[in-house]
Structure 1
Amino acid sequence: MLAALALAAAACGGSDTRTPSGSPVTGGTFTHALGADPGVLDPATGVLTATNLVLSVAYESLVTVDANGAIAPWLAEKWEVRPDAVTFTLRKDVTCSDGSELTPADVAANVNHITDPATKSPVNGVLVPAGMKATADDAAGTVTFTTPKPFSFILESARSIFIVCGKGVKDRASIARATSGTGPYTLTEAVPGDHYTFAVRREHAWGPGGATAKDLPDKVVLKVVPNEQTAANMLVAGTINGAVFYGADRVRMEQTPGVTATKLPNGQAQFFYHQGDDRPTKDPALRKALTQAVNLKELGGIVTGNTGGPATGMVTEPRPCKGDSVAGHVPAFDLAAATAALDAAGWKPGADGVRTKDGKRLKLRYLYVTTRGAGVQAGAEYLAAAWKKAGVEIELKGVLDTKLAESLNATQDWDVVYLPIGVNLPSQLIGFLSGPAAPKGGNFAHLSNTAYTDLVTEAMRTPGPDGCARWLQAESALFDNADLVPVADMTVLQAAKGATYDMSMGLLNPSTFRLTQGG
């Protein structure tokens, strides 16, 4: 689950490095690259980047965020918030792709389906708060979400819930390769591994900020293009209109005439220490010494290809709590101080330079995904070299992303793991950073930070922004204890040619699709 979230984290905002040319064109087909096949298209199972990118063309949420990151109306026109409940009043002009009216009962059914233990939805407890229930009042046009205890982001969490309506509510199997949503497009053809074609709904008139489907392209094609270099070639040739780039082709896109390149936030690069009872990294003194032995600025430049920035926290923009939870809570690079701390912790250099304590060598297994680009591999090698200078033996353990969850949770065969995370609410991290340890729970690193859990408990009682000081302090408590080490804030590059469009939270905003002449 966490690996999937780590892939799904771009957000709105950013800066254009080139401006589009040409005037808008009516009709036509907008084509966007899709990095992988999305698989099943039921929003209740959507955890992968590719899946949610497809879903965002056909489905909408109750609320969205505006340019300043504030919650704004979408399918809901207004709301009332209490510490453990939020009541939404729906717009009255919204219809589903099958022509039926969107009802509060439809919305309630979405939440209750996800939180029903029998469905085993992977977004339950992450995108949708654990234990949340929904009740509808169709006569009043309202739906109410409640949680067992006060939940500070009960309103904000609604922006991550795609609303299934119409026939899809009663027959979830029908949307495995189809869509049943309120969005401006509906899926008309699904060819797994190749492409997904959508047709416009001209009657759509309830987009964010009053957007309508009047000037949208007739069709949208999401073309499966797993190779970024191939996607770059297709964009330059004009056979696709948009793509998102993580790796080396970013520079090429920024320098290509006619291509609009926009840098977007994309989660946080960081590594975690395993704190199981049998692990040397259970000792905070060792974790802090290991952290101090690494030049994190250099490491951040390597893993991001110098496309990121200094780490500022654990939540991606647009995040509800502004501020830097990292500064002053991570020790500065100092190899001499690190080696002195290792000595003080009882780890003494052996004849071959590797430190030992109580007859055990200081050997750590470093887990990372090999398919995340050359920077991740280079970063692993950089870390191994840095820790070798401090007297640590490192075994690099690279795995495919399909094997990460098994290594992370089931076999537990790692001591340090490089794991970018992309979430937009701090509450979405709680299950990974506290509670039952893997394999019984989502706490894969076996963290047990009392300061973090106390601060989170207090923050959860306070609605929205009023609890932000505690949320930021909770993150800082993790860094103070060297439970994990923030390396860099990452970015991706959104590139377009012959078209303009926006992305938010790693999702497409179909209401902004426009084809252009001379692009």
Structure 2
Amino acid sequence: MSAHHSDTITRRCLLTGTAAFAATAALASAGCAGGSGQGTAGSSGSAAAGDVDSAHQVIVAMSPTSEPAAGFDPLVSWGCGEHIHEPLIQSTLITTDADLAFQGDLATSWECSEDGLTWTFLLRDDVVFSDGEPLSAEDVAFTVNSAVASDTFESDLSMVDEAVALDGATVELHLNKPYNALLYTLAVLGIVPAHAYGEGYGAAPVGSGRYLLERWDRGQQAIFRANPSYYGEAPRMERVVVVFMDEDAALAAVQAGEVDIAYTYATHAHQAFDGFELVNYATVDSRGISLPAVPAGATKAGQGDVAYAAGNDVTCDVAVRRAIIMGLDRDRVIEHVLEGFGAPAFSVSDGMPWSSADMEVACDPEGACALLDAAGWVPGEDGVRAKDGLRVAFDLWYASDDSVRQAMAYEVAAQLAQLGLEVSPRGGSWDEIYPHQYEAPVLWGWGSNSPVEVYALNYSTGWGNYACYESAAIDGHLDDALAQQAIEDSYVHWQLAAWDGEDGFAPEGAATWAWVANVDHLYFKRTGLDVAEQKPHPHGHGWSLVNNVDRWSWA
């Protein structure tokens, strides 16, 4: 291990000159935004050099995967999607504070009908788009209806039948089933202008949010400038430069002092750079292993005519699933794989108001072995347990381009081998993994500031029900959670879905997931940069860091 680290550091030093040069080239126009670019804002074009002083500008390095392929279009993937975040350029109906409580943005008030099928929002009347046109309820209805009808929108609004503008300041959302988690989606769905939305919007977005897109150089950087027409408190950080860099280039840019904050991973936490400090932010970014709960030979319908093989003859035994969950030493995983930058994970939503204490389980290898013994899984001559000729052996798939998941998969395999389980880590692309997602354990990354994933991963027909465990009781509790008029009243129902004393997806029940660790998000941050109070970061490094960039400042 130490030899590997030494080689990595040496190679990085050799790369520093080249990577730093590339970083400098990408950043050269940040202070001279009048140069040519592949995309410009839909307002007044680029700003002149030097019109924003360094005390009101920040340069953020993000992974190339953070760059939105379709641009800054909320109806494709900007804001909504797997890695959810606030859209910055566009306003949202509502937003969340640091404690994840809902607050109004465009909406001054909102209410739900008694049957849970109609949500009504009253809007403020002082909002204009960056082209000077006023924002009205028609724009909100247009955005929601377009998202519902879109094949490219990445969040789920299938519960919405129609959005209707009752007048210029009132919009109703008509649902086909009670679904209060809709509010979490609305908190990140940017409102687009009905009069100015069309082809090319992502490259030249017209919005009403805190920032304007000043410039976008595809594959290199995006530059945002404070919106002078913004209705809220003026951003303290007047210009935000986001550069898209792979990890080596980002570290080189930190070393050269060319960025102010850059993402990194635990494998590089031992490094130090003059003028920078390593900071870690709490997350809801969970790594967990799905455990098929039905025998092999089943099928699971995918999109269109696609049908996936489903089921596993080993993990379909609940004793095996419970033994895996009980036998994992999560603290050891965090120490060995994450260099201590993480926390034990027991669910997809640890620490959230809707999480359940019944998901937690103590590490108990002896108890795990006792479970397997009682279920008839007896160690063979090779140490691997078997029953009726079937060995406790299975593949554990992980994304091969993720070194942390690879290390975690091998650490898990080594731990489970001590219980008599033969686990074979298998790395692959997601195209290689997906055909096996319902028939073999997979090491996934999930987590968001919303209970939507609890529903998706555990509802009988949920798109993320990789275990294929179906339960009317769990479905009923999840439906009850979504039917509550007050979000606070839903928490107990989410918790009952985990375990109601007889059924649930918790370890005491169906034990459909072996959650391993919550991964801290690490950054090298320039000393003196105050990033204000961060919300818990959802799955994936990226835009969630700058949710509150308008409140950032320099000491």
Q: 1:461-482: CA deviations, max 9, x gaps? A: 2131112111123234312321
Matched residue, 1:423: 448
2:468 to 424, 433, 446: 446
Is 1:392 paired with 2:421? Answer: yes
Structure 2 CA distance for partners of 1:311 and 1:478, relative to 1, 3 Å: same
Q: Is the 8 Å Cα contact of residues 395 and 440 (structure 2) preserved in structure 1?
A: yes
Q: Which residue identity is paired with 1:102?
A: L
Q: 1:329-387: CA deviations, max 9, x gaps? A: 4543333332332233232323322222332322111011233334x322212211222
Matched residue, 1:163: 191
**What is the alpha-carbon distance in structure 2 between the residues aligned to residue 182 and residue 352 of structure 1?**
65
1:272 to 272, 276, 290: 290
Structure 2 CA distance for partners of 1:411 and 1:51, relative to 1, 3 Å: closer
Q: 1:3-54: CA deviations, max 9, x gaps? A: xxxxxxxxxxxxxxxxxxxxx9677642211211321122222179999689
Structure 2 CA distance for partners of 1:303 and 1:450, relative to 1, 3 Å: farther
Matched residue, 1:78: 109
Shift of 1:285: 1.6
Q: Is the 8 Å Cα contact of residues 290 and 514 (structure 2) preserved in structure 1?
A: yes
Is 1:102 paired with 2:165? Answer: no
Q: Is the 8 Å Cα contact of residues 267 and 316 (structure 1) preserved in structure 2?
A: no
Matched residue, 2:488: 465
Structure 2 CA distance for partners of 1:347 and 1:112, relative to 1, 3 Å: same
SS in 2 for 1:371: coil
2:387 to 340, 344, 357: 357
Shift of 1:96: 1.4
Matched residue, 1:305: 339
**What is the alpha-carbon distance in structure 1 between the residues aligned to residue 241 and residue 85 of structure 2?**
10
Matched residue, 2:279: 261
Q: Is the 8 Å Cα contact of residues 192 and 207 (structure 2) preserved in structure 1?
A: yes
Q: How does 1:38-53 map to 2 (within 5 A)?
A: 38-41=68-71, 42-46=73-77
Q: 1:173-204: CA deviations, max 9, x gaps? A: 22232322212322233222111223332222
SS in 1 for 2:187: helix
Q: Which residue identity is paired with 1:391?
A: G
Higher relative contact order structure (alpha carbons within 8 Å, sequence separation ≥ 6):
1
1:203 to 229, 244, 253: 229
Q: Is the 8 Å Cα contact of residues 316 and 424 (structure 1) preserved in structure 2?
A: no
**What is the alpha-carbon distance in structure 2 between the residues aligned to residue 50 and residue 507 of structure 1?**
16
2:497 to 451, 470, 474: 474
**What is the alpha-carbon distance in structure 1 between the residues aligned to residue 102 and residue 148 of structure 2?**
23
1:224 to 226, 240, 244: 244
Q: Which residue identity is paired with 1:500?
A: D
SS in 1 for 2:546: strand
Q: Is the 8 Å Cα contact of residues 143 and 194 (structure 2) preserved in structure 1?
A: no
Matched residue, 1:380: 409
Q: How does 1:47-196 map to 2 (within 5 A)?
A: 56-82=87-113, 83-116=116-149, 119-125=150-156, 128=157, 130-139=159-168, 141-165=169-193, 167-169=195-197, 171=198, 173-196=199-222
Q: Is the 8 Å Cα contact of residues 184 and 510 (structure 1) preserved in structure 2?
A: no
Matched residue, 2:362: 332
Q: Which residue identity is paired with 1:339?
A: C
Matched residue, 1:501: 531
Structure 2 CA distance for partners of 1:461 and 1:416, relative to 1, 3 Å: same
Matched residue, 1:11: none
Structure with greater Cα Rg: 2
1:293 to 317, 327, 333: 327
SS in 1 for 2:152: coil
**What is the alpha-carbon distance in structure 2 between the residues aligned to residue 176 and residue 196 of structure 1?**
12
Q: Which residue identity is paired with 2:152?
A: S
Matched residue, 2:459: 434
1:35 to 44, 54, 63: 63
Structure 2 CA distance for partners of 1:175 and 1:264, relative to 1, 3 Å: farther
Q: Is the 8 Å Cα contact of residues 166 and 180 (structure 1) preserved in structure 2?
A: no
**What is the alpha-carbon distance in structure 1 between the residues aligned to residue 97 and residue 184 of structure 2?**
12
Seq. identity, %:
24
**What is the alpha-carbon distance in structure 2 between the residues aligned to residue 50 and residue 442 of structure 1?**
14
**What is the alpha-carbon distance in structure 2 between the residues aligned to residue 111 and residue 132 of structure 1?**
10
SS in 2 for 1:44: coil
Shift of 1:205: 2.9
Q: Is the 8 Å Cα contact of residues 108 and 135 (structure 1) preserved in structure 2?
A: yes
Q: Is the 8 Å Cα contact of residues 155 and 185 (structure 2) preserved in structure 1?
A: no
| Gap regions ≥5 residues in structure 1 | 1-23
Q: Which residue identity is paired with 2:257?
A: G
Structure 2 CA distance for partners of 1:485 and 1:413, relative to 1, 3 Å: closer
Q: How does 1:234-245 map to 2 (within 5 A)?
A: 234-245=253-264
Shift of 1:500: 3.4
Q: Which residue identity is paired with 2:246?
A: P
SS in 2 for 1:38: coil
Q: Is the 8 Å Cα contact of residues 459 and 478 (structure 2) preserved in structure 1?
A: no
Is 1:487 paired with 2:516? Answer: yes
SS in 1 for 2:396: strand
Structure 2 CA distance for partners of 1:143 and 1:413, relative to 1, 3 Å: closer
**What is the alpha-carbon distance in structure 2 between the residues aligned to residue 299 and residue 45 of structure 1?**
36
Shift of 1:423: 1.6
SS in 2 for 1:190: strand
Q: 1:260-303: CA deviations, max 9, x gaps? A: 83523242222210234301211212211222332233224444
SS in 1 for 2:87: helix
**What is the alpha-carbon distance in structure 1 between the residues aligned to residue 77 and residue 350 of structure 2?**
19
Shift of 1:104: 0.9
Q: Which residue identity is paired with 1:175?
A: Y
Q: Is the 8 Å Cα contact of residues 284 and 349 (structure 2) preserved in structure 1?
A: no
Structure 2 CA distance for partners of 1:267 and 1:449, relative to 1, 3 Å: farther
SS in 2 for 1:77: strand
Shift of 1:120: 1.9
Structure 2 CA distance for partners of 1:151 and 1:55, relative to 1, 3 Å: closer
Structure 2 CA distance for partners of 1:475 and 1:226, relative to 1, 3 Å: farther
TM-score normalised according to structure 2 size: 0.75
SS in 1 for 2:547: strand
Q: Is the 8 Å Cα contact of residues 100 and 166 (structure 1) preserved in structure 2?
A: no
After superposition, the CA RMSD in angstroms is 3.1
**What is the alpha-carbon distance in structure 1 between the residues aligned to residue 218 and residue 350 of structure 2?**
30
